[in-house]
Structure 1
Amino acid sequence: MFAQFLTPAYLPFAIAFAVMIGIGLIESIGLGLGHLDLDADMGADGHGGVLDWLGLGRELPILIWLTSLLGCFTVAGTAIQQIAESLQGAPLPWPGAVGGALLAGGALNTLAANALARILPRFETSVISTDDLLRQRGTVLEGAARRGAPARVKVVDRHGQAHVVLVEPHDDADIIAAGETVLIVRRDGARFFVVPERHTLLQSI
């Protein structure tokens, strides 16, 4: 079956499956890439029209939605080729199979995405501005943050959703080690600046 999956008739679905696994690994190691602010696409009544049909209207994290779509595309395409082989003794040419899989997989993904949005309520109404992370505490995940050498910090917003951002010390002389708790005090573009909680002035905050 694995060798069959690598033949030209099945290759688009093998590639989709490999990409799906890759995205799953990215999400599992928590790189913080899974959330997309879709508010600009919503209508005044709070519904996203096409986004709702696609399963994105519930603000499902984009990488989870994409992983689901790739999985549905792979399943639909493989099923189409298997049915074609049982009926005519050979799979369809890959362009025809891909077209059918896009239609069937897209419809199947609408159901899957809506189901995922219901069982992952923590992602609903949790899209925030990056400025909302200011004055929040976080934990340095790895390495040491120095001026000019940022480190990754995990911050939990008011919705309980975790974000991973790059930070540098607010004070030039500070070196903040992995595991330390920090307070985010300002932002410059995608870079945040923090003060370590060990500073005496933060102990009572």
Structure 2
Amino acid sequence: MMFGQWMDPAFLPFMAAGLAVLVLTAVELSALLFGLALSDALDNMLPRVDIESGEAPGIFSWLGFGKAPFLVVLVVILATFSVSGIVIQHTVLGLLGFTLWPLLAVVLALLITMPSASFLAGVLARVIPSEETSGIHRNELVGCHGHIAQGVATHDRLAEAQIAGPRGLRHWIMVRAERGEQLSPGTPVRIIAREDRTVFMARRVEDPDLLKKKGAAALPG
């Protein structure tokens, strides 16, 4: 199919959705280079739902919002809509020699997108749930130790930390430092509080392994 045909109004809604997926992915990857996460920022800006149960109202719950990160569900919906619409128009064009009226194609694509995106989001929610990580509630990470993995954390800027969870599993979370503190990559930290749905407060600590060695050395022989 020639480039001009892709730019035909019959394909524009689906090409726009595909372009949105590429842009969102590029922005997320670029943000991660600076220790930020677009997905976390969007989750923080959205109205709160029943976080403990992962439920969102009505059709949003069916689509997976509140169970998987908002950005993940949004990308799944946009990608499914884009692929469905392009396949519909391309198939009709090949069989009948013309494309469907854009609005009709959009409606048909949505009919395919809704159940397909719901299924895919449900699968992803089991892999990357929004509220739990590796089977634990995120509140359990408070008090755990780890280190800054990417970015520099200040009170106003988030960074990614790798934390050893209560079951010995590693978790990657977004953290901020206390006021006046700056936490560089590799800095050992302890999670002292959970600020909201996705952000934690981290405090600089001496290397936990070094603390254990000092404690053992202080014991009478």
Asked if these proteins are the same fold (TM beyond 0.5), I'd say yes
- Map of 2:76 onto structure 1: 68
Give the conservation status (yes or no) of the 8 Å contact 1:85–1:91: yes
Alpha-carbon distance between aligned partners in 2 of 1:123 and 1:116, rounded to the nearest angstrom:
7
Give 5+ residue unaligned stretches, structure 1: 43-47
Q: Structure 2 length as normaliser, TM-score?
A: 0.64
Alpha-carbon distance between aligned partners in 2 of 1:89 and 1:19, rounded to the nearest angstrom:
29
Q: Per-residue displacement from partner, 1:28-77 (whole Å, max 9, x unpaired)?
A: 947272696472637xxxxx8756743x2893443333222222211210
Please state whether the residue corresponding to 2:90 is helix, strand or coil.
helix
- Map of 2:21 onto structure 1: 20
Matches within 5 A, 1:1-205: 1=1, 2-25=3-26, 26=28, 29=32, 31=37, 33=39, 37=51, 39=53, 41=55, 50=59, 53-54=62-63, 56=64, 59-117=67-125, 120=127, 123=129, 126=132, 131-146=139-154, 148=155, 150-156=157-163, 157-158=165-166, 160=169, 162-169=171-178, 172=180, 174-186=181-193, 192-198=201-207, 203-204=211-212
Q: Structure 1 length as normaliser, TM-score?
A: 0.68
Report the Cα offset of residue 192 of structure 1.
1.8
Alpha-carbon distance between aligned partners in 2 of 1:17 and 1:110, rounded to the nearest angstrom:
18
Report the Cα offset of residue 178 of structure 1.
1.7
Alpha-carbon distance between aligned partners in 2 of 1:197 and 1:14, rounded to the nearest angstrom:
52
Give 5+ residue unaligned stretches, structure 2: 44-50, 216-221
187 and 40 in structure 1: CA distance in 2 versus 1, 3 angstrom threshold? closer
- Tell me the C-alpha RMSD between the 2 structures: 4.0
Give the conservation status (yes or no) of the 8 Å contact 1:182–1:196: yes
Equivalenced residues, count? 193
187 and 123 in structure 1: CA distance in 2 versus 1, 3 angstrom threshold? closer
Alpha-carbon distance between aligned partners in 2 of 1:39 and 1:8, rounded to the nearest angstrom:
42
